[in-house]
Chains A and B, each alone.
Chain A
Amino acid sequence: MPEIKVTPLGAGQDVGRSCILVSIGGKNIMLDCGMHMGYNDDRRFPDFSYITQNGRLTDFLDCVIISHFHLDHCGALPYMSEMVGYDGPIYMTHPTKAICPILLEDFRKITVDKKGETNFFTSQMIKDCMKKVVPLNLHQTVQVDDELELKAYYAGHVLGAAMVLIKVGSESVVYTGDYNMTPDRHLGAAWIDKCRPDILISESTYATTIRDSKRCRERDFLKKVHESIERGGKVLIPVFALGRAQELCILLETFWERMNLKAPIYFSTGLTEKANHYYKLFITWTNQKIRKTFVQRNMFEFKHIKAFDRSYADNPGPMVVFATPGMLHAGQSLQIFKKWAGNEKNMVIMPGYCVQGTIGHKILNGQRKLEMEGRSTLDVKLQVEYMSFSAHADAKGIMQLIRMAEPRNMLLVHGEALKMEFLKGKIEQEFNIDCYMPANGETITVSTNPSVPVDISLNLLKREMALGGPLPDPKKPRTMHGTLIMKENSMKLVSSEQALKELGLNEHQLRFTCRVQLQDPHSDLDTLHRIYTHLKSLLKGYTIQHVPDGTVMVESIVIKVSSSAEDPNNKVLLLSWSYQDEDLGSFLSSLLKKGLPSGLC
């Protein structure tokens, strides 16, 4: 049985460091190559030594696919390709290809320049790595090699996020990356066709959540921001530079315009301008509204949102600041947070998921005293709000995707084990398919039942057509006779004559003969004649001949009569038929065994 093997190196029962190995039809594919936000040591990157202890990965991987530009999906890419060593193709969509290096560079800067880490990938490495990227278009089928093909689907989530269908022969796997089934202010909803993959590898961040309608969420968010601003407080919204940030920007921008608010909105600089630039460019990847209105005005050209300068944080009066990174674990958002944490008028809104171990996670869990680096503690007085804005599919969305794709097996990654367990149960109960949730390093093997294509010779097909009924019925299997020839990795079905000819073999006849004892007082000839009339009356539609040389032929079956020496009444019938006439032959023999009816003349 052919098998598909899936091994998560990261994101198995965990969020962060997405990296999944898939072996399908003899091809090895790496899905995503991310880093973990919660760690600063070796656990940050996937353990590539799982693939090979020493040496380069090129020999072991056929391709690498990056679903979107979030660092937990692409953060380890330069490390893998340049430091561990991989020269094969890396597939990602156009927006991902454009935005990914910016984020990597930012990541590198923070780790190397700020934290002073050494032995980290360099800017040059990022550039080299990006040179290996092959861009994908939506719904475009890309042939990696003769057998392996990829197809990308829209996934929502962030600009350029894609789900990928990986196909070898008739075996296929879909990897969703992160996706979102509900559209938001700037992106559409994920969509996939009914591709019926063998395995659907889905994220399950919100495995136990069913979110309120997004409108309620939006309204709540705007209300909270508005109230805080009216109180004169400052609002910090930690975001990842790209993705949610743009959605929230559009939301606030339109709200500001409508309500005619004057309080400044800032966006931490650096990434923003470049990123917004790409958002303006890749309009086709956004939602219906933006696509339709960009001719009049590109929604990403903000009027109210300005670039942030570090000094602004101390300005008096209300303001809204979007700052990176999103989980308050480092960088500007953390700095601002430290500045504002002491004032209860201020507010921090966490718009998304926070990995365990980050400050974001801590304060969301109600911790009011934080230990900072250097043994100092920080009192958290400001309001902490949580708004689920992160664009992952919720439980119902995951179910919806499964219904869309109709996979034969389900595999959950990118989520917490307990929650996965719950969803797994639901999926198994609902769709009656197997669902797996491997931990990191654990291999899941799924045996597949691929159909094997066989060429059939046209002559044979035509002959069979002529034999059978008027029309072939696609619903019903039909048996046909032919010879299967396997030659050099290809198979074909031909007629036996042709097979003999091709293989240079002689034809052998296989005949069955049997004797039937029969009590009949007549002479041999008469008996034969009686048999003839008997068969004639029974077997209508067959050609039955009484050949003068003392035999009866039914089609090609020969019947001959002889009487035994000791008892002339005891006749011995000889039947002989060829292998092809097995059915008729065995029927005749059993018929004659019953004896001849008395009424015959």
Chain B
Amino acid sequence: MAAHLKKRVYEEFSKVVQIPHEEAPSKKLRLSKPSKSAALHVDLCKASNSTDALQYLLQFARKPVEVESVEGVVRILLEHYYKETDNSVRLKIASLLGLLSKTQGFTPDCIVDDAINTLSNEKSHQVLAQLLDTLLVIGSQLPDTPTIRLRLIHVACKHLSDTYFGVRNKCLQLIYRSIISDYFGDQDPRVRTAALKAMLQLHERGMKIHQVIYEQACRLLSDDYEQVRSAAVQMVWVLSLLYPESIVPIPSSNEEIRLVDDAFGKISHMVSDGSWMVRVQAAKTLGSMLQVSPHFLVQTLDKKLMSDLRRKRTAHERAKELFTSGEFSSGRKWADDAPKEKLDRNTVNLIASGACGAFVHGLEDEMFEVRIAAVEALCQLARSSPSFAEKCLDFLVDMFNDEIEEVRLQSIHVLREISTHITLREDQLDTVLAVLEDSSRDIREALHELLCYTNVSTKECIQLALLELLKNLNKYPTDRNSVWKCLKFLGSRHPTLVLPLVPELLSTHPYFDTPEPDMDDPAYIAVLVLVFNAAKSCPTMPALFSDHTFRHYAYLRDSLSHLVPPLRLPGRKQVFGLDSVDSGSGSASVESAQLFLQQSLHRVSTIQNLEAPEARELLNFTIRDLQRLGELQTELAGAADFCATFLRCQLLLMKALQEKLWNVAVPLCLKQNVTATAAAQQILEETYKLEFLYSGLESRQVATIHHVRLQAKALQLILYARSRQGLDPLISCCEKFLQDVESFQRLFLSELPHLQDSFMDRVCELLPRLTSCKPVEMVKILQSTLRQSGLLQLSLPEQIHRATATIIEPTGESDNPLRFTSGLVVALDIDATLEHVNDPQNTVKVQVLYPDGQSHVIHPKPGDFRKPGPHRHRLITQVYLSHTAWTEPSQVEVRLLLAYSSSSSSSSSRLGWSDGADGVIPPSEATVEGTIPFSKPVKVYIMPKPARR
């Protein structure tokens, strides 16, 4: 081929074709004259030692470098870099490289190789880290070069095994920044999603995300794929939380706004996205952007296409261009949309002013999921902004007419939550009250709950509300309690509005006596509840009462004391009882009670110094005091109760340890042994109650409780060792105990310092000895430790609440037995309120106890629990009873249990000691393992009849 070619060349050569000499455009090599670099070069060469060089470099760094000379400077620096032996100078050079590559207009692709080369020979870790940082800068300057990116990543991976943290840190930054954010623009939507998610995950793990991403994330909001958009919404949201106050420009104008406002606008825009998943996400996200400016917030409820913000701003800047109006019609009146004038084209940007009407759209959405999310978001935003709450009221009230019950219910709940900020107008109340006729019990009760917290403006509103509530009572008699309670709050909230209504309500007449109403009429009781509660803070009201009203008051005060407050009635002796405390209960009395509680506890802590009988006495008194305190001061009931129970445990322990049996030979004291064993068992049970029945405990208290439990277990172990002779079971018991000790140590490592001088403290000290010694010896050690160790100081957390349950239905009053054919089932409706129960779906059970001792535990469905208010649950369920035929009707007991096994228990030892040690003490019959009964049992009269043949 070559020969052939050459031949042809010669041929042509001989022909001599003259080609006119034209300057062919040739490639230009960029060789810039180093104007500045020359100076630097000279300087650096002059430098005799490293400090001088450093000085020169520092001077150099202060001056800006022109774009053309950057490369030259870089070359010189690199040259010097290789020669330099001093670390600090090399470090400075490395950082200078980074600075230089940031120069505007300079593309650092030509120095990548050199920078990477320097890495390979570098020994100093600091310099390495600095070099990697430089690479990071270079990498961010060259966003679109995959080859360089790959190389950078490769380099970073190589240095990941460096011993210096700074180097690894930089490597990872290099990797994540260059990898992840670059893939935001990947061609495949799944990759884009994954990149966004990875970034979010990094954020969750505490990595700082840079604001640079914001723009990219915003661009991804208009991606073609819903997963990407959804992830982008999250990303924008995260960034808005991180940099709420930084300023971003509005494209297509020279204005700037806060980032959080911008993000809010953009996410609002997503509420009208094509995919409902994204819409849900966007609506949810909006709720948590509380830092947004109020005028943006208000716009979300505004469907007019005007953005107030824009208008105002433009009014300042280009007052000339102010348009008159681009008004749209509302569609309520015919032909009000006929364009009145030629409209100016410069009207405000419609779509980009995104926050406009976001919630209006969200609340009208096709999918109820979106609507619910929007309602929730409204709630969150309204809670933090009263003015917004005022504005969104109408929208929420509108939602009461939604076609889906869940949405209606949710909006009622939301309105309740924000009701502190708002006062309902009459027409709004009208719409609200219309829902009272709803056939769903949940909705009605939620509405009652709402009315409890609602402020209304006029007396007509009160009348309207009462009327509707009575109608409701008439239609659904089962709502009795709820309606009464609602009226109680309505009355006590609006005494002045009720006052002018009183004669009408009680149907009194100035001249004539009116017939005495029926005292058993629920409607009349309802009216009275309203009036009496209003009268409480309105002393002039009782003057309007007629005689029978006073009589009825006395009756109701006794029978429905929770609904009727004590009144200062003329001519009647004020009864000071428990009520005087809670009628006069201000914050002061709570404080004093708190003080008393603290003092009692403090007093108990001095118990160490007392002799045994005095100590016991003191404990007894304190327990009594605390119990009384709990009764008087409902706010502190939980705490007082908790303390009392705890002290009771201590008392029991003390008693058990002070029995004489410890000094007497074993066979002689079997009786005491039994009482001590019972005490230990009781302490165990109490500790479970302490742990699981009270909410608001901190790990300190839990540790204390576990500590007491361990003490009880130790006591059991000792007693066991005394009572039985067999060595093998004893060994296993000892092992078990040691395991418990270890798990205690593991669980409460952080709390151990607070347990100084306690039983546990000592056991831990002795642990090496305990593990090595024989069981008998171990028991002895334990015995002495147990007896020597003192009382553990109890510290109280802010709020302790005791879980309580009240069974409303069945009432247990019925004398008519529930008859059913034996062998078949009968459904019993149960309606109960639970307070301060965490996760009731998993923990609350219903127990049915038959007269023959048979007991059933029923697990209610998760759907049976409603949450009408904070810390409050409502259980409405059915339990099925069945039994073989009886001859007489008899009563079964129904009660609620709190299960504390498995999920609710954080400790490793779930079962009591007794279970492990093959039944030293058989569990008492009524208790079901791992449960605490926490409601009063209700008796239900049933009668299973024999089946007819």
A473 contacts which chain B residues (CB < 8 A)? 146
Any A CB within 8 A of the CB of B579: no
A88-96, A328-336, A418-426 - interface stretch: A418-426
Cα A206 to Cα B402 in complex, Å, equals: 25
Q: Nearest CB to that of B402 among chain A residues?
A: A215
Nearest CB of chain B from residue A427's CB, rounded to whole Å: 9
Decide if B13 touches A574 in the complex (CB within 8 Å): yes
B272 adjacent to chain A (CB < 8 Å): yes
Q: A388-B331, A511-B8, A587-B26 are in contact. Are A429 and B401 (CB under 8 A)?
A: no
Residue of A425, A513, A558 near B345 (CB, 8 A) is A425
Considering only residues 239-286 of chain B, those with a C-beta below 8 Å from chain A are 272, 274
Q: Helix, strand, loop or mixed for chain B's interface?
A: loop
Q: Does A185 contact B403, Cβ atoms closer than 8 Å? A: yes
A204 to chain B, nearest CB (A): 12
Asked if A403 contacts B351 (CB within 8 A), the reply is: yes
Q: State how many angstroms separate the Cβ of B348 from the closest Cβ of chain A.
A: 10
Knowing A208-B337, A209-B328, A388-B332, the reply to whether A513 touches B12 (Cβ < 8 A) is: yes
Point out the residues of chain A lying under 8 angstroms from B308, CB to CB.
none
Measured CB to CB, the nearest residue on chain A to B333 is A386
Given A193-B274, A576-B12: A470 and B147 interface contact (C-beta under 8 Å): yes
**Cβ-defined contact, B335 with A365, below 8 A:** yes
Known: A185-B403, A210-B328, A469-B147. A386 touches B334 (CB 8 A): yes
Residue A269 is within 8 A (CB to CB) of chain B in the complex: no
Residues of chain A within 8 A of B147, CB atoms compared: 469-470
**With A365-B334, A473-B146, A553-B2 given, is the CB distance from A208 to B328 under 8 Å?**
yes
Nearest CB to that of B430 among chain A residues? A223
A381 at the interface (CB under 8 A from B): no
| B13 engages A396 (CB within 8 Å) | no
A185 and B403 CA atoms in complex are apart in Å by 8
Tell me the chain B residues, 19-36 only, with Cβ under 8 Å from chain A. 19, 21, 23-24, 26-27
User: With contacts A194-B274, A214-B364 known, is A430 near B350, CB below 8 A?
Assistant: yes
Q: Considering the complex, give the chain A residue whose CB is closest to the CB of B16.
A: A515
In angstroms, Cα B27 to Cα A587, docked, is: 8
Instruction: Give the CA-CA distance A511 to B8 in the complex, in Å.
Output: 9
Q: Which of A250-295 contact B (CB under 8 A)?
A: 254, 258-260, 287-289
Q: Does B185 contact A (CB under 8 A)?
A: yes
**Is residue A364 contacting chain B, with contact meaning CB distance below 8 A?**
yes
Q: Which of A559-588 contact B (CB under 8 A)?
A: 560, 574, 576, 578, 586-587
Interface check B437, CB cutoff 8 A: yes
Count of chain A residues near B, Cβ 8 A: 80
Say yes or no for A212: interface residue by CB 8 A criterion. Answer: yes
A399 interface residue, CB < 8 Å from B?
yes
**B404–A289 CB distance below 8 A:** yes
A220 in the interface (beta carbon within 8 A) = yes
User: Is there a chain B Cβ closer than 8 Å to A589's Cβ?
Assistant: yes
Segment with Cβ contacts to A, from B134-142, B365-373, B705-713: B365-373
B521 interface residue per 8 A CB criterion: no
B253 to chain A, nearest CB (A): 14
Shortest CB-to-CB span from B321 to chain A, Å, is 13
Known: A287-B366, A511-B12, A586-B26. A219 touches B329 (CB 8 A): no
B13 contact set on A, CB distance < 8 A: 513, 560, 574, 576
Give the docked Cα–Cα distance between A418 and B338 (Å). 8
Q: Does A216 make an interface contact (CB < 8 A)?
A: yes
Q: State which size class the interface on B falls in.
A: 35 or more
The reply to whether B331 and A217 form a contact with Cβ atoms under 8 Å apart is yes
State whether the Cβ of B442 lies closer than 8 Å to any Cβ in chain A: no
- Picked from A258, A474, A558, A586, the residue with its CB within 8 Å of the CB of B9 is A558
Residues of A within 8 A of B349 (CB): 430
Asked if A560 meets B9 with Cβ closer than 8 Å, knowing A258-B437, A430-B349, the reply is: yes
Report B584 CB to chain A, min CB distance, Å.
46
- Complex alpha-carbon distance, A350 and B334, angstroms: 9
Give every chain A residue within 8 A of B274 (Cβ-Cβ). Answer: 191-194, 404
The CA-CA distance from A259 to B437 in the complex, in Å, is 8
Q: How far is the CB of A368 from chain B (nearest CB, A)?
A: 14
Q: How far is the CA of A192 from the CA of B350 in the complex (A)?
A: 21
Q: Does B883 contact A (CB under 8 A)?
A: no
| A209–B305 CB distance below 8 A | no
Interface contact B398-A215, CB-CB below 8 Å = yes
A582: nearest residue on chain B (CB-CB)? Answer: B24
Bound-state Cα–Cα, A53 to B403, Å: 54
Q: Which residues of A contact B364 (CB under 8 A)?
A: 182-183, 213-215
List, in ascending order, chain A residues with CB within 8 A of B17's CB: 513
Min CB gap A512→B, angstroms: 8
Measured in the bound complex, the distance between the Cα atoms of B402 and A191 in whole Å is 22
- Interface check B343, CB cutoff 8 A: yes
Expressed in whole angstroms, the minimum distance between the Cβ of A592 and any Cβ of chain B is: 12
Q: Chain B's nearest CB lies how many Å from the CB of A471?
A: 6
Contacts of A188 in B (CB 8 A): 366
With most chain B CB atoms within 10 A of its CB, the pick from A512, A514, A549 is A514
In the complex, the answer to whether A210 meets B339 with C-beta atoms within 8 Å is no
What is the CA–CA distance of A351 and B368 in the complex, to the nearest angstrom? Answer: 25
* A258 near B146: Cβ-Cβ < 8 Å: no
Contact yes or no, A429 B18, CB < 8 A? no
* Interface residue? B204 (CB, 8 A): no
> 8 Å CB contacts to B: which residues of A183-210?
183, 185, 188-189, 191-194, 206, 208-210
Ordered nearest first, which 5 A-B pairs have the shortest CB separation? A388-B331, A211-B331, A183-B366, A386-B334, A210-B328
Could you name 28 residue pairs across A and B whose Cβ atoms are closer than 8 Å? A208-B328, A210-B305, A210-B329, A210-B330, A212-B332, A213-B364, A213-B398, A214-B364, A215-B363, A218-B401, A219-B431, A288-B366, A288-B404, A350-B334, A365-B334, A394-B331, A396-B357, A399-B350, A470-B147, A470-B150, A473-B146, A475-B144, A551-B9, A553-B2, A556-B2, A576-B12, A590-B24, A591-B26
Q: Which residues of A contact B (CB under 8 A)?
A: 182-183, 185, 188-189, 191-194, 206, 208-220, 254, 258-260, 287-289, 350, 364-365, 386-388, 394-396, 399-400, 403-404, 418-419, 421-422, 425-426, 429-430, 469-471, 473-476, 509, 511-515, 547, 549, 551, 553, 556, 558, 560, 574, 576, 578, 586-587, 589-591, 593
Which residues of B does A touch, CB under 8 Å? 2, 5-6, 8-10, 12-13, 16-19, 21, 23-24, 26-27, 144, 146-147, 150, 185, 187, 224, 272, 274, 303-305, 328-335, 337-339, 343, 345, 347, 349-352, 357, 360, 363-368, 395, 398-399, 401-404, 431, 434, 437-438
Knowing that A288-B366, A475-B187, A560-B9 are A-B contacts, what are 5 other residue pairs whose CB atoms are under 8 Å apart, sorted by A's residue number?
A191-B274, A212-B331, A422-B343, A558-B6, A590-B26
